[in-house]
Structure 1
Amino acid sequence: MAGPIAQEIERKLVEALAPTHLLITNDSARHSGHMGDDGTGESHFTVEIESPAFAGVSRLARQRLVNGALGDLPGGRVHALAIRARAPGE
C-alpha cells in the first residue's frame, strides 16, 4: 500500500499529465539515516512516467512539467525525486 505522499504524487501526475504509464517507487528505505530522511518513510522517490504531453519536448522541459505538476512537494515534503519521463513509443 502506497503512503499518503506517494498517493498525492500519483494523483497530481494523473490529473496534470494523463500518463499512459506511471510507476512511483519509494526509495526512502535506502536513505534511512541520511540527509533528507525525515523519519516518515516517504522522503525519496523515483517516478517513471510516460505521457503524450512529453512528445517533442526536451528532457529538461519534461522534468519541469513533472515538477510543476507536483507543486511544492519536491524540496518540501519530498527530499529527493528521480524522474524518468518519456513520450509513448520512446
Structure 2
Amino acid sequence: MTDLATAPVADLIAARLTEALSPSALEVINDSHHHAGHMGDDKSGESHFTVIVESAAFAGVSRVGRQRLVNQALAELLATRIHALAIKTRAPGE
C-alpha cells in the first residue's frame, strides 16, 4: 500500500475509492488553492477536495448512505490529511 504520510492525497483518495466502490467514473479535484490562508489550510496544498463518484454501489442508496460509503472508504485520510471534502455521487444512469 502507498505510504499515507508522503503520497499525494488525490492519489490516495482515488485508490481508496476505487478499492471500496469500483467506480465507473471518478474525479478527484483538489480545491485547496481556494482555501489558502483559511482555517484548515495546513499549507500543504492538499487539504480540501471534491470527489465526483459514479458507482453501481450507490444504486438504491440514499444520498446520506452514499456519503457514508465514501466517508468510510476515506476514514483514515479524513482523520489525518483531509480537512474538507465535498462529495457528489450518482449511480450509473442517473
TM-score, with normalisation over the residues of structure 1?
A: 0.94
Q: For 1:52-87, what per-residue CA distance to the aligned partner results, in whole angstroms no more than 9, with x for missing partners?
A: 000000000000000001122124310000000110
Structure 1 equivalent of residue 4 of structure 2:
none
The structure-2 alpha-carbon separation of the partners of 1:16 and 1:62, relative to structure 1 and needing over 3 Å to count, comes to same
Please, which runs of 5 or more residues in structure 1 have no aligned partner? none
Cα RMSD after superposing both structures: 1.0
1:32 matched residue in structure 2: 36
Deviation by residue 1:15-60 (Cα, 9 ceiling, x = unmatched) = 0000000000000000000000000000000000000000000000
Structure 2 residue ranges without an equivalent (≥5): 1-6
Please, which of 83, 87, 93 is the counterpart of residue 83 of structure 1?
Answer: 87
Distance 2:23 2:78 in 1: 19
2:59 is aligned with 1:55:
yes
Structure 1: 4+ residue segments shifted above 2 A: none
Aligned length: 88
- The normalised TM-score by structure 2 is 0.90
Identity of aligned residues (%): 62
Q: Distance in 2 between the 1:40 and 1:53 partners?
A: 32
What residue identity is the alignment partner of 1:24?
V
